[in-house]
Amino acid sequence: MIHALHAVYRRELLAYFQTPLAYVFLAVFASAAPALAFHMGRFFDTNRADLAPLFDYMPWLLLILMPALAMRSWAEERDRGTLEFLMALPIPLWASTLGKFLAAWSVAALALVLTFPMWIAVNYLGNPDNAAILTGYFGALLLAGGYLALGQALSATTSNQVVAFVLGTSACFLLTMTGLPIVLAVVGDNAPAAISEFIAGLSALEHYNAFRNGVIALTDVAFFIGLIIASLACAGVLIAERRGGGR
């Protein structure tokens, strides 16, 4: 079974780099992340040697770019009519689902690695808390994984990649918006405390903020792992229902 997973992972990873998608994605991420940190985050005005401005804007960057990376996963298979061929192979559905996810997550991890020069820069400019920075990167990787898995689940609902991107971006946006202070304040003023806590618990932003502040909590890790597993399970169910059903 591990061989099947590796085969799907390798196929998907190569597919990303055989088209302009991965290169465009990496180029956009590598340029947008520093731009957000240096200009919108006013990096040089904070007089602090850390990557807080980068991690502040990371959720908003990921909620757009992760659905763009995930949109092709199943929608392309259905559009090209290769889904039936993939399902006919002696590969478990879980291996296909997990392999596609891990390939996309690897590309996302590479994108985060491309921001490493900023880490070098802050160490040159001062003495940052590198443990906190590493924790921030870990949180960003988990957040990227959650958005990717959600985007791939929604990609399984359509054969149109543009529709898959719009659905994925909308879902990630809602998952992020629920953690904004203004949203939580409005809910808190108009709903019981239990409902407010429940909504806050569903927010990817709320759980990501702990990593951004240099704190690793088991509940936050469990949230993202749970989001990934639940989303991939949904993708598997949706594809299983369309087995042999074409587009």
Q: Specify the amino acid at residue 41.
A: G
Kindly report the number of other CB atoms within 10 A of residue 215's CB atom.
Answer: 12
Please classify residue 162 by burial: count the beta carbons closer than 10 Å to its beta carbon, then call 0-12 exposed, 13-18 middle and 19+ buried. exposed
Whole-number Å distance between alpha carbons of 19 and 34: 25
Q: Is 165 within 8 Å of 67 (Cβ atoms)?
A: yes
8 A C-beta contact, residue 211 and residue 142: yes
What is the four-CA torsion angle of 93, 96, 102, 105, rounded to 10 degrees?
-100
**Residue-level pLDDT at 143:** 96
Show the tokens assigned to 11.
């196929």
Give the model's pLDDT for residue 44.
Answer: 61
Q: What angle do CA 87, 101, 33 make, to 5 degrees?
A: 150
For the chain, the domains span 2-241
Q: Please say whether the beta carbons of 120 and 29 come within 8 A.
A: no
Report the distance separating Cα 75 and Cα 88, nearest Å: 17
pLDDT of residue 247: 45
Cβ-contact 37, 54 below 8 angstroms: yes
d(CA 121, CA 158): 43
Two tokens, residue 66: 């992760």
Can you tell me the distance from the alpha carbon of 25 to that of 18, in angstroms, rounded to the nearest whole number? Answer: 13
Closest CA to 153 of 86, 230, 225, 82: 230
Q: What is the pLDDT of residue 144?
A: 96
pLDDT reported for residue 214? 85
The DSSP call for residue 71 is: T
Q: 16-42: b or e for each residue (b if 16 or more CB lie within 10 Å)? A: beeeebbeebbeebbebbbebbbeebe
User: What averages of pLDDT result for each successive group of 10 residues across the chain (247 residues)?
Assistant: 85 88 89 80 63 87 92 84 76 89 95 89 82 93 96 91 93 83 63 63 84 90 95 91 55
Contact indicator for 144, 76 with CB cutoff of 8 Å: no
Does this model's pTM top 0.95? Answer: no
Provide the residue type at 238 as one letter: L
